[in-house]
């Protein structure tokens, strides 16, 4: 007889949700988290679309540690000394069915743990799972901290570049182009200063993405999210591009902080957190095998992350995947069949949900980004140059905008512009 019905490895967003769903269905479940506490090693930009959370915890707003509701979207294209920003706001962003909040993972993840523990899940922190225990091709437990612990099903939620996924289902480690390196600082600022700088009330804020000089033209981008008393600021650059770069991600972040669009926003702030993490960037085409005999993959260990350029999502996918993994595992346990076939309802549930459907919709976008370097240099420079021609006045006679734009467009090349536009439309 196994020590537990289920073992969950990792406690980001997917892990505790899977544990909660199993425990509420009467299953014995152990969660093993290598960090000293949940959230200690988890890094994200900080925006959570709440639709998936609502399905698991309908009353999450009562006590979940949410920061600010996002009511302003900004996208900026940067040159070294200029920036063109598009802002969008809509009253529908305040609708509970479509809202999103900024979160700090060091606070949010422990809350998820408390929900799983309240349902009956057991937790071990500060211990890494070194390997999986297998009987032939079947996963039967884990080896952690010198102990072997058995279970009828193991759910891997151990993050990007999982050390266990290859052992579980034979999935090779992700390629350099399918992962990115992320770096983030949490910068403490007075609540009223944030309100003034972003023209928002105390419980509302902004999500802001950057391209171009934010990464000095490397494939990736910048992000900024407003919290109650801080700002989350960071960059994400593909590992493949960063390996070839003549700079470091830390230097890119320091340069980003000094950019004239960013510097006034964070002026007077104190860095209270500095962290880095790998980010899944491969999209649908990088999804591994999701199930095997006695094992399931969910969240970022399954490369479940979406980058559409104008928005970045990961936490809502992880929560939904954790929910479906927990429910499907409980059903398989009830049926006495935790083989790959018995766990197959998990894959079906994901395919029927927004998780796989949204990833399929954007399956071309990672390749588009990787093979369209003009998106991160030429086009932001073009946008800022056009804005400069339109908005700067020096007393010389005006030229029609079309005549100002034509030399700039010729420099890019109309064929290149049309080709990239066509690829971008197809990718989105």
Could you read off the pLDDT of 169-203 as tens digits, one per residue?
A: 998 888 888 899 999 999 999 999 999 999 999 99
pLDDT at 328: 98
Q: Which fold has domain 177-280?
A: D-Amino Acid Oxidase; Chain A, domain 2 (3.30.9)
Residues of the chain with pLDDT > 70, as a percent, come to 100
Distance CA 260, CA 254 (A): 12
Q: Over 90: is that where the pLDDT of 427 sits?
A: no
Q: Are strands 291-292 and 295-297 parallel, antiparallel or unpaired?
A: antiparallel
- What sign results for the dihedral spanned by CA atoms 335, 168, 179, 277? positive
pLDDT tens, residue by residue, 17-52: 999 999 999 999 999 999 888 888 888 889 999 999
pLDDT at 82: 95
Compute the average pLDDT of residues 143-152. Answer: 95
Distance CA 211, CA 77 (A): 5
Q: What is the Cβ-side half-sphere exposure of residue 279, based on CA atoms within 13 angstroms? A: 28
User: Of 73-82, 154-163, 206-215, 415-424, where does mean pLDDT reach its minimum?
Assistant: 415-424
Residue with tokens 């009987």: 135
Contact 144, 203 (CB under 8 A): no
Compute the average pLDDT of residues 205-212. Answer: 96
Q: Over 80: is that where the pLDDT of 403 sits?
A: no
The C-alpha angle 53, 57, 60, rounded to 5 degrees, equals: 85
Q: Over 80: is that where the pLDDT of 114 sits?
A: yes
pLDDT at 378: 87
User: Of 217-226, 333-342, 417-426, where does mean pLDDT reach its minimum?
Assistant: 417-426
pLDDT at 373: 86
Q: Over 90: is that where the pLDDT of 330 sits?
A: yes
- For 38, 169, 310, 347, the CA distances from 29, given in Å and listed in that order, are 16, 21, 38, 21
pLDDT tens, residue by residue, 333-379: 999 999 999 999 999 999 999 999 999 999 998 888 888 888 898 88
Q: Which CATH number does the domain 4-66+103-173+284-361 belong to among 2.60.40.1260, 3.50.50.60, 3.40.50.620, 3.40.920.10? A: 3.50.50.60
pLDDT tens, residue by residue, 248-281: 999 999 999 999 999 999 999 999 999 999 999 9
SS3 of residue 160 by DSSP: coil
- What sign results for the dihedral spanned by CA atoms 100, 249, 359, 166? negative
The pLDDT-based confidence of 394 (bands split at 50, 70, 90) is confident
Compute the average pLDDT of residues 190-217. Answer: 96
**DSSP-assigned letters across all residues of 313-332:** E-HHHHHHHHHHHHHHHHHH
- Other beta carbons less than 10 A from residue 332's beta carbon: 24
Instruction: Spell out the SS3 assignment of 25-91.
Output: CCCCEEEEECCCCCCCCCCCCCEEECHHHHHHCCCHHHCCCCCCEEEEEEEEEEECCEEEEEEECCH
pLDDT tens, residue by residue, 56-66: 999 999 999 99
Q: What are phi and psi of 163, to 5 degrees?
A: -80, -10
């Amino acid at each position: 007889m196994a020590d537990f019905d289920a073992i969950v490895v990792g406690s980001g967003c997917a892990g505790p949700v899977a544990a909660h769903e199993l425990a509420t269905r009467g299953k014995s479940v152990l969660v093993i988290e290598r960090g000293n506490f949940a959230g200690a090693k988890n890094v994200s930009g900080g925006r959570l679309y709440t639709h998936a959370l609502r399905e698991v915890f309908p009353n999450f707003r009562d006590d979940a540690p949410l920061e600010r509701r996002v009511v302003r979207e900004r996208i900026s294209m940067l040159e070294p000394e200029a920036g063109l920003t598009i802002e969008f706001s809509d009253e529908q962003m305040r609708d509970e069915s479509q809202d999103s909040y900024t979160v700090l993972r060091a606070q949010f993840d422990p809350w998820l743990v408390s929900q799983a523990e309240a349902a009956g899940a057991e937790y071990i922190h500060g211990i890494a799972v070194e390997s999986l225990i297998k009987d032939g091709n079947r996963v039967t437990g884990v080896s952690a901290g010198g102990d072997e612990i058995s279970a009828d099903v193991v759910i891997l939620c151990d993050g990007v570049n999982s050390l266990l996924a290859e052992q579980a289902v034979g999935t090779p480690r992700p390629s350099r182009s399918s992962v990115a390196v992320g770096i983030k600082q949490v910068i403490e600022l007075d609540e009223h200063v944030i309100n003034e700088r972003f023209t928002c009330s105390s419980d509302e804020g902004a999500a802001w993405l950057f391209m171009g000089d934010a990464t000095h033209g490397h494939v990736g981008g910048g992000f900024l999210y407003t919290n109650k008393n801080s700002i989350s600021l960071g960059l994400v650059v593909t590992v493949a591009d960063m390996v070839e770069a003549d700079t470091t991600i830390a230097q890119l972040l320091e340069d980003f902080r000094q950019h004239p669009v960013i510097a006034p926003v964070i002026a007077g702030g104190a860095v209270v957190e500095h962290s880095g993490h790998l980010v899944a960037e491969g999209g649908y085409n990088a999804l591994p095998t999701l199930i095997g005999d006695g094992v399931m993959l969910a969240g970022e260990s399954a490369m479940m992350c979406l980058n559409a350029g104008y928005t970045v999502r990961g936490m809502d996918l992880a929560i939904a995947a954790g929910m479906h993994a927990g429910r499907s595992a409980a059903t398989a346990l009830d049926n006495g069949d935790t083989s790959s076939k018995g766990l197959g309802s998990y894959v079906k549930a994901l395919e029927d949900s927004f998780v796989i459907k949204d990833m399929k919709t954007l399956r071309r976008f990672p390749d588009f980004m990787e093979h369209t370097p003009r998106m991160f240099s030429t086009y932001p420079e073009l946008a800022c140059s056009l804005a400069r021609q339109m908005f700067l006045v020096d007393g010389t006679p005006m030229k029609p905008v079309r005549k100002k734009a034509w030399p700039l467009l010729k420099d890019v090349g109309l064929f290149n512009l049309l080709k990239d536009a066509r690829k971008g439309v197809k990718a989105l």
